A and B are shown apart, each in its own frame.
Chain A
Amino acid sequence: MLDVRGLKKVYNGGARQVEAIRDLTFTLSAGELVCLVGPSGCGKTTLLKCVAGLLTPTSGEVLLQGRPVTGPPPGMAVVFQEYGRSLFPWLRVGENVDLPLRQKGLPKARRRELVTEALAAVGLADAESAYPWQLSGGMQQRVAIARAVAFEPEVLLMDEPFAAVDAQTRADLEDLVRALWHKLGVTILFVTHDIDEAVYLGQRVLILSSSPTVVREELTVDLPDTRDQLHTRGHPRFTALRTHVQEQIQAAKRGLPSPSAAGDGEE
């Protein structure tokens, strides 16, 4: 579904060259929910922008369903961390969700349907005629998610979407993402710096090294598919996994080599 092969990104800042990403290779199969964690400043956002076709990689390629990504591909939607800046303040909630559909050239009746469904799916059925800035932060991010859902993407990219909301809202939104993923069967690449969030949400967790970035480890999250904030987080396996990821991130920060036999990764 989504193939990232040998991705490398070097920024040319005048005389200084910054190698943000050295060599990233990973694959997402259709319908997978994969989380990407790494130490801060490891180029997570750069990677996501390359995948989204918003940045051109220095070398390597991104393939969506076998086709190379050279610009924003039609079957992909991105949810940004900065919901306040990603939603357009001059459009009402419904119009924000509708705009990408209009660009897609969908008939009006179908657009109406999608907007209503998407807003209902994120629990904001009655906020359609409000302006985004009249809503709380968590609600605004729900609108951004609704906009992505209404777009009916095959792949949904989420760039630290809950980094700017409070802990309770974050827990609700995490469950919302799991629920939508189950319901829609969409492929999700979820970038986060929050280790618990990565383990709680993902089927797999990709741990990145610090910059210049490579994939340090791919970890399968062998937790039951039905997850809830109370029990999953109290599960001994959850604790073991998060500790493992934490250790890897700490080791990445100190620049230690990754375990050669990655295996299933525990201990």
Chain B
Amino acid sequence: MTLIERTSGGGQTAAPASGDARRGRRRGSAAWLGLAGLGTLLAVMEIVPRVGLVSSKYFPPTSRIAEALAAEVTDQAFWVALGDTLKGWALGLLIATVAGAALGVLIGAVPLLREYTASTIEFLRPIPSVALIPLAVLLFGTDIRSTLLLVVYASFWQVLVQVLYGVQDVDPVADETARSYGLSTIARVRYVLWPTALPYVMTGVRLAAAVALVLAITAELVIGAPGLGARIAVAQTSNAVPDMYALVTVTGLLGVLVNLGARAVERRTLAWHQSVRGEVAA
């Protein structure tokens, strides 16, 4: 079962109770179908250039891309580039998460502050991060800080907006209980508000993780900051088309891993939450 997307911070839905065995079988066959679909795609991509439907110069067959990929992973420079990309991604995501969560809790907990900042947030949030590329170049050139600026800007809003929803989801009965037992404001943030907001924080971080990867690659590709994106650009300009596809494949795999990782973390930290624990007893 997957976590429910709650970008709008709406209600939570418990999963319909169904037999474990049945669910397991369905999941198993879905996985097989998915793999078969992927296999078909790879096969088509192998055959189509070979029979000359598209130019193999721009669309090399799958096997050529695989060869290029095998060559890449033996290259030291590839791993350095991968490391740079991951560093920009992880550091940017970390900064965005900490800042987004802290500001979200603060703004969300103080109604006056929320009203004061609402329009500003709605104005700043839709600005596409890529529009800040010229600014990043002006400030930091091709330094990794350029990547960071774009990554942080893009993922910060994802986290902040989710936390703001989460903070407003505090159950009045839970809050009254905490107050009646004399919990201070800080204790209520720690023991009531934060756990309530946590599922939203997790959703925000998961969305931000995906966006952060997009922006990390974009910054490297467009600005030339060190990383996989820059390597893709080099492969393109040196006409190493299979290498370019191999690197694109790696970025795709990174995206998949990031999402799987985020979901795993989500499941562990939210074991108590309805969306993870499944059907509710009583």
Contact = CB atoms under 8 A, between A and B. Distances in A.
Real complex partners, A and B? yes
B173 interface: yes
A182 interface: no
B282 A76 contact: no
Nearest to B196: A90
Q: What is the interface residue range for chain A against chain B?
A: 20 to 34
Interface in B29-83: none
A135 interface: yes
B173 A54 contact: no
A54 B179 contact: yes
Interface in A83-117: 85-86, 88-91, 99-100, 103-104
Contacts of B10: none
B179 A88 contact: no
B272 A86 contact: no
B182 interface: yes
Contact of B195 (A49, A54, A90): A90
B174 A86 contact: yes
Contacts of A86: 173-174, 177
Contacts of B87: none
Q: What is the interface residue range for chain B against chain A?
A: 20 to 34
The 3 A-B pairs at the shortest CB distance, nearest first, are namely A100-B181, A85-B173, A90-B195
Nearest to A88: B174
A52 B171 contact: no
B281 A133 contact: yes
A137 B281 CA distance: 9
A100 B183 CA distance: 7
Interface stretch (B15-23, B120-128, B184-192, B216-224): B184-192
B221 to A, nearest CB: 41
Interface string A38-55: 000000000001001110
Nearest to B174: A85
A134 B274 CA distance: 11
A7 B277 CA distance: 45
B273 interface: yes
A72 B179 contact: yes
Contacts of A147: 181
State the majority secondary structure of interface residues on B: helix
Contacts of A74: 182
Given A80-B173, A85-B174, A52 B180 contact: yes
A84 B277 CA distance: 15
Interface in B232-282: 272-273, 277, 280-282
A32 interface: no
27 contacts: A49-B176, A54-B179, A72-B179, A72-B182, A76-B180, A78-B177, A80-B173, A80-B176, A80-B177, A88-B191, A88-B195, A89-B272, A90-B195, A90-B198, A91-B191, A99-B183, A99-B191, A100-B181, A103-B181, A103-B183, A104-B182, A133-B272, A133-B280, A134-B281, A137-B282, A147-B181, A151-B181
A151 B178 CA distance: 13
A77 interface: yes
B173 A82 contact: yes
Contacts of B282: 133, 135-137, 140
A181 interface: no
Nearest to B184: A103
Given A85-B174, A86-B173, A72 B180 contact: yes
Contact of B192 (A80, A88, A104): A88
A91 B272 CA distance: 8
A100 B182 contact: yes
Contacts of B272: 89-90, 131, 133
Given A99-B191, A131-B272, A135-B282, A54 B180 contact: yes
A190 B251 CA distance: 63
Contacts of B277: 133
A88 B173 CA distance: 10
A186 to B, nearest CB: 15
Contacts of A104: 182
Interface string B148-171: 000000000000000000000001
B192 to A, nearest CB: 7
Nearest to A101: B181
Query: Which of A74, A90, A104, A137 gathers the greatest number of chain B CB atoms within 10 Å?
Result: A90
Contacts of B187: 103
A191 B173 CA distance: 17
Given A77-B180, A100-B182, A134-B281, A85 B195 contact: no
A127 B181 CA distance: 22
Interface string A54-79: 10000000000000000110101110
A86 B180 CA distance: 11
Given A133-B281, A134-B281, A136-B281, A85 B171 contact: yes
Query: Which of B181, B187, B273 gathers the greatest number of chain A CB atoms within 10 Å?
Result: B181
